């Protein structure tokens, strides 16, 4: 049985003091949770401090982005090795906000995914369709195109270290959420696509998270679905009480 992963994406929120306070609250409330995996993704400037605060707990730390090159003249960018050196274990690749607001292509995301794996990080690859694509009946085709391009050239061994997050773009930060049945249907389709590429065994072992306005009120129903292996939580991860409620199930 796949072990649930609850991940909190803090996006561009908080200051250093707020990040440490939030991490301290999570440490107190969730530090000994052992029946599921937990991770938080602070903004870059706070990663080392949050990692120090959570040291010795079951809560791991990740970054929200990385550059595909290991070093170079890339002002404002951060490499996978840099992230690993300050306590990162995870990194998000291909969040819809990176795809849509910053124009990141699937080719670029494939390079990022390879860089993350090369740096020893565990990537969460995000995929998902826009509302118009869903209404046109193209949701599965869109997700297939993303997965095929983003995972191109990866071996089964590399893929074994990748987590997928299905994030319908129309549900991110909008208050709208895919129903548990909608999310489970798409995530089942994703698993079938992965089986075509990597075989049924690796596809069955891959964790597929749901992301998109996850909150305490809907998390239990979403996580009860058989194809949903956890949640990538946005706004609700900024409130310790809400994130703890989701994490405890």
Which tokens belong to 194? Answer: 């992965």
Active site residues: 95, 167
Q: Please tell me the predicted confidence (pLDDT) of residue 1.
A: 75
For 122-181, the three-class secondary structure string (H helix, E strand, C coil) is EEEEEECCCHHHHHCCCHHHHHHHHHHHHCCCCCHHHHCCCEEEECCHHHCCCCCCCCHH
Mean pLDDT of the chain: 96
When divided into structural domains, the chain yields a total of: 1
pLDDT tier at 32, thresholds 50, 70, 90 = confident
Tell me how many degrees the CA angle 31-36-39 measures, rounded to the nearest 5.
Answer: 60
Q: Which residues contact 239 (CB under 8 A, 6 or more apart)?
A: none
Full residue range of the structural domain in which residue 83 is found: 5-248
Q: Given its phi and psi angles, is residue 136 left (phi above 0), alpha (psi -120 to 50 degrees) or beta?
A: alpha
Which tokens belong to 225? Answer: 């679905």
pLDDT tier at 31, thresholds 50, 70, 90 = confident
Position 54 pLDDT exceeds 90:
yes
**CATH code where residue 20 lies:** 3.20.20.70
Distance CA(96)–CA(6), nearest Å, equals 19
Q: Whole-prediction pTM value? A: 0.97
14 touches 22 (CB < 8 A): yes
Over residues 219-229, the pLDDT tens digits come to 999 999 999 99
Check residue 3 and report its DSSP letter: P
Over residues 83-124, the pLDDT tens digits come to 999 999 999 999 999 999 999 999 999 999 999 999 999 999
Over residues 135-172, the pLDDT tens digits come to 999 999 999 999 999 999 999 999 999 999 999 998 87
């Amino acid at each position: 049985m796949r072990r649930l992963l609850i991940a909190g994406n803090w996006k561009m929120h908080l200051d250093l003091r707020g990040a440490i306070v939030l991490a301290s609250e999570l440490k107190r409330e969730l530090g000994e949770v052992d029946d599921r995996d937990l991770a938080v993704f602070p903004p870059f400037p706070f990663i080392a401090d949050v990692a120090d605060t959570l040291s010795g707990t079951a809560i791991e730390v990740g970054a929200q982005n990385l550059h595909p090159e290991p070093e170079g003249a890339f002002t404002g960018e951060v490499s996978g090795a840099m992230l690993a050196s300050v306590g990162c274990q995870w990194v998000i690749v291909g969040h819809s906000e990176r795809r849509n607001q910053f124009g990141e292509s699937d080719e670029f995301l494939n390079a990022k995914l390879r860089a993350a794996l090369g740096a020893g990080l565990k990537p969460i690859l995000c995929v998902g369709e826009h509302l118009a694509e869903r209404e046109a009946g193209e949701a599965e085709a869109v997700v297939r195109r993303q997965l095929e391009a983003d995972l191109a050239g990866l071996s089964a061994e590399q893929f074994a270290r990748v987590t997928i997050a299905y994030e319908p773009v129309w549900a991110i930060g909008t208050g709208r959420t895919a129903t548990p049945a909608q999310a489970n249907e798409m995530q089942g389709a994703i698993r079938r696509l992965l089986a075509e590429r990597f075989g049924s065994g690796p596809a069955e072992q891959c964790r597929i998270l749901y992301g998109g306005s996850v909150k305490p009120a809907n998390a239990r129903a979403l996580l009860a679905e058989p194809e949903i292996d956890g949640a990538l939580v946005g706004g609700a991860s900024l409130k310790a009480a809400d994130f703890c409620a989701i994490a405890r199930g």
